[in-house]
Amino acid sequence: MSDTHWIRTDRLLLRPFQQEDLGRLILLSHDQGFTSQFGSFQQPLDQSMAHAWIDSSNASIQEDGRGHWAILEHGQIVGVASLLDHCLDGDPLSLTTIEYRLAQSARGRGLATEALSGLLEFGVAQLGIQDFYAFISAENAAAKNVAFKLSMTFLKRAFFAGHPVEVFHVRPTHGHPQTRFGRSAESAA
């Protein structure tokens, strides 16, 4: 996969997953708090599931620029940031959503906010997306804090995949945050 889908922020590199990341992805999926009731990681992955997940995500990124990115800090994968289209239960309108998962050791340092800021900028600059949404369970205070730091506002309560969620929305202004696209592997952290 070309590096045109790579996203560089001040501290992070977001890039599509590679098959070489298989072991790290499996470990992350078993990390405490990495799985959730809904979203991309509802259960820990085994080798065949992780392999299929990487292939599916990369095909999606190639097709329409949406999918899952590995979040790398100092060259180590510490999480996943996702830009996906989803529909709320009972609503046929597809919404572009952002989500993240971080290893326990990477939490509390602003990495989720930074990674999702990079994804927002990528979505605006490279894909022309104007509106972004996040579906967050009511008890997930950390994810709500990230949403607020991204200038997202609470929109409504709804259901997604049969689970109650709070829906947040943002229409970012172009040029913020400062991210750099298309960095080569040699210049990546």
**How confident is the model over 16-32, as pLDDT tens digits?**
999 999 999 999 988 87
What is the per-residue pLDDT for 37? 57
DSSP string for residues in 107-144: TTSSHHHHHHHHHHHHHHHHH----EEEEE-TT-HHHH
- Give the pLDDT confidence of 89-139 residue by residue, as tens digits: 999 999 999 999 999 889 999 999 999 999 999 999 999 999 999 999 999
Assign 42 a pLDDT band (cuts: 50, 70, 90). Answer: confident
Distances in whole angstroms, Cα of residue 148 to Cα of each of 81, 103, 169, 172: 17, 21, 10, 13
CA distance 1 to 157: 38
pLDDT at 160 over 60: yes
Higher pLDDT, 43 or 67: 67
Nearest-angstrom CA–CA distance, 189 and 186 = 8
Lowest mean pLDDT among 111-115, 175-179, 185-189: 185-189
- What span, in angstroms and rounded, lies between the C-alpha atoms of 180 and 122? 9
Instruction: Report the Cα 181 to chain-centroid distance in Å.
Output: 16
- Please check the confidence at residue 177 and state whether its pLDDT lies above 90: no
Residue 183 has pLDDT above 80, yes or no: no
- If you average pLDDT over every residue of the chain, what do you get? 87
pLDDT reported for residue 172? 83
Q: What's the pTM?
A: 0.87
